[in-house]
Amino acid sequence: MFKAIILEKPGDTVEAAVGELTDDRLPEGDVTVAVDFSTINYKDGLAITDSAPVVRDYPMVPGIDFAGTVEVSDHADYKPGDKVVLNGWGVGERHWGGLSQKARVKGDWLVPLPSAFNSEQAMSIGTAGYTAMLCVMAIERNGVTPDKGPVIVTGANGGVGSVAIAILSKLGYEVHASTGRASEADFLKSLGASEIIDRETLSGPARPLGKELYAGGVDAVGSHTLANVLSQTKYGGSVAACGLAQGMDLPSSVAPFILRGVTLAGVDSVMASKEVRTEAWNRLATDLDISKLENLTTKVSLADAIGVAGDILKGQVRGRVVVDVNA
Are residue 105 and residue 153 in the same domain, yes or no? no
Domain range enclosing 199: 125-266
Burial class for 18, CB neighbours closer than 10 Å (0-12, 13-18, 19+): middle
Are residue 164 and residue 246 in the same domain, yes or no? yes
Are residue 43 and residue 17 in the same domain, yes or no? yes
Low-confidence ranges of the chain (pLDDT < 50): none
The CATH number linked to 57 is: 3.90.180.10
Residue 203 lies in a domain: yes
**Closest-CA residue to 239 (of 308, 251, 248, 221):** 221
What was the pLDDT predicted at 158?
86
Residue 54 lies in a domain: yes
DSSP conformation letters of 112-170: EPPTT--HHHHHHHHHHHHHHHHHHHHHHHTT--GGG--EEESSTTSHHHHHHHHHHHH
What was the pLDDT predicted at 56?
86
Are residue 27 and residue 141 in the same domain, yes or no? no
Are residue 208 and residue 108 in the same domain, yes or no? no
Q: Per-residue pLDDT tens for 152-173?
A: 999 998 889 999 999 999 999 9
Are residue 141 and residue 172 in the same domain, yes or no? yes
Residue 280 lies in a domain: no
If phi > 0 it is left, if psi is from -120 to 50 it is alpha, else beta; for residue 41 that is beta
Are residue 142 and residue 105 in the same domain, yes or no? no
Q: Per-residue pLDDT tens for 19-38?
A: 999 999 999 999 999 999 99
What was the pLDDT predicted at 130?
94
Instruction: Please state, in angstroms and rounded to a whole number, the distance separating the CA atoms of residues 64 and 40.
Output: 8
Residue 274 lies in a domain: no
The CATH number linked to 192 is: 3.40.50.720
Residue 72 half-sphere exposure toward CB, CA atoms < 13 A: 10
Residue 273 lies in a domain: no
Instruction: Please state, in angstroms and rounded to a whole number, the distance separating the CA atoms of residues 261 and 62.
Output: 41
Are residue 151 and residue 251 in the same domain, yes or no? yes
Does an H or E element contain 44, and which? Answer: helix 42-49
Residue type, 203: S
Instruction: Tell me how many domains the chain contains.
Output: 2
Q: Per-residue pLDDT tens for 43-98?
A: 999 999 998 889 989 999 999 999 999 999 999 999 999 999 999 999 999 999 99
Instruction: Please state, in angstroms and rounded to a whole number, the distance separating the CA atoms of residues 269 and 265.
Output: 13
Are residue 236 and residue 299 in the same domain, yes or no? no
Instruction: Please state, in angstroms and rounded to a whole number, the distance separating the CA atoms of residues 267 and 221.
Output: 13
Residue 114 near residue 285, CB atoms below 8 Å: yes
What are the DSSP E strand ranges found in the chain?
2-8, 15-21, 31-39, 65-73, 83-87, 102-105, 111-112, 151-153, 175-179, 193-198, 214-219, 233-241, 263-266, 297-301, 320-324
Backbone phi, psi, residue 124, to 5°: -65, -30
Instruction: Please state, in angstroms and rounded to a whole number, the distance separating the CA atoms of residues 84 and 56.
Output: 26
Residues 218-236 as b or e (16 or more Cβ within 10 Å = b): bbbbbbbbbbbbbbbbbee
Are residue 133 and residue 248 in the same domain, yes or no? yes
Residue 310 lies in a domain: yes
Residue 288 lies in a domain: no
Instruction: Please state, in angstroms and rounded to a whole number, the distance separating the CA atoms of residues 282 and 277.
Output: 9
Q: Give 19's DSSP letter.
A: E
Are residue 60 and residue 168 in the same domain, yes or no? no
Residue 121 half-sphere exposure toward CB, CA atoms < 13 A: 16
Are residue 58 and residue 141 in the same domain, yes or no? no
Choose one of 266, 284, 314: the last residue of a domain: 266
Q: Sign of torsion, CA 19 22 23 27?
A: negative
Residue 155 lies in a domain: yes
